[in-house]
Amino acid sequence: MPSLTLLRFGVDLSIIIVNWNTSSILKDCLESLFKQTYDISFEIIVVDNGSSDDSVLMVENTFNKVILIQNRENRGFAVANNQGIRIARGKYILFLNSDTIVLDGAIQRTLKYAESSDDIGVVGCRVLNSDGTLQPTCFMYPSALNLLIATTYLNKLFPKSRLFGREKMTWWDRSSFKEVDVVTGCFMLVRTEIVKLIGGFDEKYFLYGEETDFCFRAANIGKKLSFTPDAEIIHLGGGSSRHMKADMILQGRASLLLFIRQHKSLAEYLLSCFLLSMNGAIRVPYYCVRYLFSKDKKECLVRINAYTTGTFKALRGWEALKYK
């Protein structure tokens, strides 16, 4: 883990946002933060990963209270968050995606819940799509069993089953408080003392999976990972990753295998490589047929390319799939 030096608490909360070419939605996110966050002291840290749009100018010209860190290139989500952590002064740190809108005092509500018990280390909240429908968040750790279920589509056929819907907990409507394995990284509130203890994000994760690894290590030091339904945000989804969709599909698979390699047995890792290869092989003919009838042929071609490439690369392990 990287070496992180944390400053003495100067505010209640540090909000860290990693941005890459999402100027317009970042602006909406920041506006919602300043509008909806009150009765607490907070700072906002935006880490820009070498954006080629006007993200940096927008922040400098519109939000002079925001602390801005500029990278010359896209250094990845984990590295950028660790840069923000190093200068954060909050008792808590909120890791927030740039493509989110904070609703109705969501941050204060989540903080109140986190403060209710010293055992709570990481908290997530209820997440909505832009149309107001529920976006399922929080999930189980990756495993060979979960990959087998996904590969055979049993999770799609029986989403209400606690066995087949286990990975993404599709049987749960997110209306109740619950301890979970993984809090989704689009909105993840963490006690700063935990960040110090476990050393921030593992920088081997370029994008995707970094919150899974982080939550696993937080649980290993005895902290609870919790979900509160009392706070809500909107998550547009894929704000930065949509710019490199095929690469990002492969990166997501690389991160999944990396987690299993780090935290499971070698036998389970090798089995997972095989299952992920089969997962891609099954999806290629599906998207070939879908291409013939779909209006969005470009999307189908991206997925055909990604799954074809992933079918072969998965057999060589997580490093063959990674973006960088």
The pLDDT of residue 271 is above 70 = yes
Q: Give 33-92 pLDDT, tens digit per residue.
A: 999 999 999 999 999 999 999 999 999 999 999 999 999 999 989 999 999 999 999 999
Q: Which of 184, 200, 235 is the last residue of a domain?
A: 235
Q: How confident is the model at residue 4 (pLDDT cuts 50, 70, 90)?
A: low
Q: Is 299 contained in some domain? A: yes
Q: Is 165 contained in some domain? A: no
What pLDDT, on the 0 to 100 scale, is given for residue 237?
A: 78
Name the more confident of 5 and 118.
Answer: 118
For residue 141 the two structure tokens come to 């750790």
Q: Give 276-289 pLDDT, tens digit per residue.
A: 999 999 999 999 99
Q: Is 275 contained in some domain? A: yes
Please tell me whether residue 94 adopts helix, strand or coil conformation: strand
89 and 210: one domain?
yes
For residue 139 the two structure tokens come to 């999930």
102 and 39: one domain?
yes
190 and 270: one domain?
no
Q: Is 202 contained in some domain? A: yes
229 and 308: one domain?
no
216 and 275: one domain?
no
The pLDDT of residue 170 is above 50 = yes
| Whole-Å CA distances, 242 to 20, 21, 182, 238 | 11, 10, 23, 5
- Rounded distance between C-alpha atoms, residue 172 and residue 136, angstroms: 9
Q: Tell the residue number behind the tokens 């089995």, with chain if given.
A: 271
224 and 247: one domain?
no
231 and 183: one domain?
yes
CA 30 to chain centroid, in Å, comes to: 19
The pLDDT of residue 319 is above 80 = yes
pLDDT averaged over the chain?
A: 93
Q: Is 169 contained in some domain? A: no
The pLDDT of residue 240 is above 50 = no
The number of domains in the chain is: 2
Q: Give 10-26 pLDDT, tens digit per residue.
A: 899 999 999 999 999 99
CA 172 to chain centroid, in Å, comes to: 19
Q: What is the CATH number of the domain that holds 111?
A: 3.90.550.10
What pLDDT, on the 0 to 100 scale, is given for residue 248?
A: 86
- Which residue type, as a one-letter code, is found at position 110? T
82 and 228: one domain?
yes
Domain span at residue 253 reads 241-321
Q: Which of 211, 235, 259 is the last residue of a domain?
A: 235
- Rounded distance between C-alpha atoms, residue 323 and residue 76, angstroms: 10
Q: How confident is the model at residue 1 (pLDDT cuts 50, 70, 90)?
A: low
The pLDDT of residue 295 is above 90 = no
Residues whose CB falls within 8 Å of the CB of residue 47, separated by 6 or more in sequence, listed in order: 16, 17, 18, 19, 69, 71, 80, 81, 83, 84
Q: Which of 235, 252, 278 is the last residue of a domain?
A: 235
Do strands 178-179 and 224-235 pair parallel, antiparallel, or not at all (unpaired)? antiparallel
What pLDDT, on the 0 to 100 scale, is given for residue 239?
A: 46
